[in-house]
Chain A
């Protein structure tokens, strides 16, 4: 008796896009070239946003005023990745949720400058609320990756 055979088809969807970053993102990115992490503020609620963004979604106001932070922040949460995923960094790597200065919002970046010899011990070395500071690339282009990672403040 013949059994049905099944075929599989490999396919993908390659789409190319060009996206305007807009004024506030562009300004925030450019400042990274000068090793500066800026924030912008809402005229109504006075919250500070890092990374900068075009409008406050709570007050629905355009954000036009800027502040300069000292770049240091605290860790709100983090995760240590042990598995390799396509197009993602070699494990182990640590992604953190970092609040820069007095910002109402947090940004995502790597936490580095840790001893990776014992990967299982890395989570134990990171505390919620731990103070961190950016380690900058020598050549910067105006991109979040101009920061190599955030390292614990000594």
Chain B
């Protein structure tokens, strides 16, 4: 029985600070484009998985509005609230279980909201909510540990932010294309120590959609489908050990399981592109070692290997990672700092990895990492997915 599920098309609509469309119009636009690219009509769809959270849509049971917009009228439609990759996992499982051959995964961000207030509302009422903790503060707490443990310096935070901004300049989909430099970042106001405003992702609006297919349908419909060869999740404790949380054990578990599924033994040799979810710049540095890109404590060195100094100006290589003379793209899209839509971020990251793989002949395999830390740390769930080009 086939173990392969392919992604045969993707479509992105946006991204901006504000959109004039309603949520359903936005999702409809992206899904329609994805269906067109795949060469199929709505009638061919067997299942729909929407990625969203009620709070980001401004209505309760918001999938009511967006499922029909994703093509779900009279279809088997579900809505997963853990970020785009968790919705992709749902569609992947529908197909492998045999209950669908073609599935749409979609999400859209149209509504203006205050993400800090929403993230505060995700903390328990008994102890944490009243202290005002939110996503920015919890990212800051994790960033503090990177400084304390010697993983990175505040200088590195600004460097990795600048690396992402530079990459975003050439990404036509990105919300932020301003290309902020290291100087811009390090002089931006401190928001929640040690995080500066330009080290914190914006809140972006837009939509993303994918069409997933069974092996049979993928081969019928797409010349070059990208195959999902690994996908897995892991969660972190909410009220347990703070050390365990900083260890990001849930992320490590997701990475380990996904790598095993895909047969990735040496990420440095095996992976060409990573799209990671770092809504605060320093988090990208925290991910390098769990992803197998470097030894513990060497994230800073790894980052700077890709940074060339030319006189007094620090020139940032857009991808920033050179490992044993092999160039690995990390957040070539510009990452969350350049685009951070709450509902469809994970789908956008998957589409970005797909775009990179399509554009670069030499690139064969990509890793997409997603989580729900847009709501903050504690009790968060990570997902990791491996995408691969057809082998000849």
Contacts and interface: CB of A to CB of B under 8 A. Distances in A.
A19 B126 contact: no
Given A9-B125, A15-B118, A54 B24 contact: yes
A58 B73 contact: yes
Interface residues of B, number: 31
B69 A19 contact: no
B81 to A, nearest CB: 16
Contacts of A55: 24-25, 28, 32, 69
Interface string B298-315: 000000000000000000
Interface string B63-93: 0000011010110000000000000000000
A9 B114 CA distance: 25
Given A9-B125, A54-B22, A19 B110 contact: yes
B65 to A, nearest CB: 10
A1 interface: no
B69 A9 contact: no
A19 B32 contact: no
A16 B114 contact: yes
Q: What is the interface residue range for chain A against chain B?
A: 20 to 34
A147 to B, nearest CB: 22
A154 interface: no
A15 B110 contact: no
Interface in A44-62: 54-55, 57-60, 62
A13 B129 CA distance: 11
Contacts of A21: 22
A17 interface: yes
Interface string A119-154: 000000000000000000000000000000000000
A20 B20 contact: yes
A60 B113 contact: no
A18 B59 CA distance: 11
Nearest to B130: A11
B269 interface: no
A22 B41 contact: no
B73 A57 contact: yes
A62 B33 CA distance: 12
Contact of B113 (A9, A11, A16): A16
B32 A60 contact: yes
A20 B58 contact: no
B143 to A, nearest CB: 27
A19 B111 contact: yes
A76 to B, nearest CB: 19
A22 B121 CA distance: 28
A25 interface: yes
Contacts of B73: 57-58
A14 B173 CA distance: 32
A11 B110 CA distance: 28
B121 A15 contact: yes
A147 B19 CA distance: 29
B42 interface: yes
A60 B22 contact: no
A25 B125 CA distance: 38
A74 to B, nearest CB: 24
B111 A18 contact: yes
B192 interface: no
B68 A57 contact: yes
B330 interface: no
A22 B110 CA distance: 10
B108 to A, nearest CB: 12
B20 A22 contact: yes
Most chain B CB inside 10 Å of its own CB: which residue of A25, A60, A62: A60
A55 to B, nearest CB: 5
A14 to B, nearest CB: 8
Contact of B117 (A15, A19, A20, A23): A15
B21 interface: yes
20 contacts: A11-B125, A15-B55, A15-B58, A15-B118, A15-B121, A16-B117, A19-B110, A19-B111, A20-B22, A21-B22, A23-B20, A23-B25, A25-B22, A54-B25, A54-B28, A57-B68, A58-B74, A60-B42, A60-B71, A62-B32
Given A23-B25, A57-B69, 16 more contacts: A13-B121, A15-B114, A15-B118, A16-B113, A17-B58, A17-B111, A19-B22, A20-B18, A20-B22, A21-B22, A22-B25, A25-B22, A55-B69, A58-B73, A59-B42, A60-B41
Shortest 8 CB-CB contacts between residues of A and residues of B: A17-B58, A18-B112, A22-B22, A57-B73, A60-B42, A57-B68, A54-B25, A22-B25
